[in-house]
Structure 1
Amino acid sequence: MTDNASNANPAEYLAFTLGKEEYGIDIQKVSEIRNYETPTRIANAPEFVKGVINLRGLIVPIVDMRIRFALGTPEYGPFTVVIILNIGNRTVGMVVDAVSDVTTLTPEQIKAAPDMGSTLNTEYIVGLGTIDERMLILVDIDRLMSSEEMGLIEKMAA
């Protein structure tokens, strides 16, 4: 199943780290990158939803991706950031350990994702981007954030 013309042309990905792994998301989904600030906790929210922040009058849910991907206890340090995303008609923030750079990948640099077991459902993985010795796990952030278990964004019409 192909998304759009992105399979024919190079695409830009924002690279970020969670633990020892490097991930990438479509740069077009990113509206800004902010320093981490402790969000206001919401009662009965899933563990991976750290809470909400007030972003210029807009209440934005904040998802900790380390908790979401079961990558151990998150530690918030000087490089911890919140990537503000525009998904459908919603704004969502995701906490990551650090942001690396913006990388352009050609279709030839993107390989199919192997089955990774139960840690990360591969339905949220676009593929693996390879740049020299570097490997980015490319996440379909639309699909992940609109998934039923996230409960953050209504399913978008196909």
Structure 2
Amino acid sequence: MSLVAKISENVHVGAREYLTFRLDQEEYGIDILKVQEIRGYEQPTRIANAPAFIKGVVNLRGTIVPIVDMRLKFNCAQADYNSFTVVIILNLRDRVVGIVVDSVSDVMELSAEDIRSAPDVESAIDNGCILGLGSVGERMLILLDIEKLMSNADMGLAANDE
């Protein structure tokens, strides 16, 4: 039995698990299966002429990983890097990318009934990259298609199709 099958055995039928994180005052969720690991923030090596939201690269056990500051990408107010600032290392197809977020909250299970369509409004996030809005109690999550978001041409991260 594959690892994905084992994980999905533990999730209710039709439900998915999302890693939730904060940027400024908003809470976001991404598919937990895309997350490789969560690390404390360390200053990356800057790459000349990279977009401002690409902070640079880090060497993660021999793999060069681009680091994207999601606060800058989403035009949030500049926040200080502190002890809560983390990098979520994502495994997207054959590409490894890190995203800097203010903090990681938890892992939430959402069923289809918990997810609503996102309103069609102008925002810093391409509407095609928003899966919907998840709600659990008083919490509202913006659910991101992180793979689609990271592969957008404006990200400046060329796909690794080797």
Pairing 1:119–2:111 present? no
Tell me the distance in 2 between the aligned counterparts of 1:17 and 1:153: 26
Could you tell me which runs of 5 or more consecutive residues in structure 1 were left unpaired when the two chains were aligned. 1-7
Match of 1:50 among 47, 52, 55: 55
Match of 2:44 among 12, 16, 39: 39
Cα deviation 1:75-121 (Å, max 9, x = unaligned): 21110000000011010000000000000000000000012313222
Any runs of at least 4 consecutive aligned residues in structure 1 with deviations exceeding 3 A, and if so which? none
Change (3 A) 1:155 1:37: closer
Contact preservation (8 Å) 2:37, 2:90: yes
TM-score by length of 1: 0.91
User: Between the two proteins, what is the percent identity of the paired residues?
Assistant: 59
Which amino acid letter does the alignment assign opposite residue 52 of structure 1? V
Match of 2:155 among 131, 150, 154: 150
In proportion to residue count, which structure has more helix?
2
Aligned length: 151
* Structure 1 position 155, deviation (Å): 8.7
Match of 2:134 among 129, 132, 137: 129
Could you tell me which runs of 5 or more consecutive residues in structure 2 were left unpaired when the two chains were aligned. 1-12
* Structure 1 position 53, deviation (Å): 0.4
Matches within 5 A, 1:79-94: 79-94=84-99
TM-score by length of 2: 0.89
Which amino acid letter does the alignment assign opposite residue 42 of structure 2? E
Cα deviation 1:14-71 (Å, max 9, x = unaligned): 0000000000000000000000001000001011000000101111000000000111
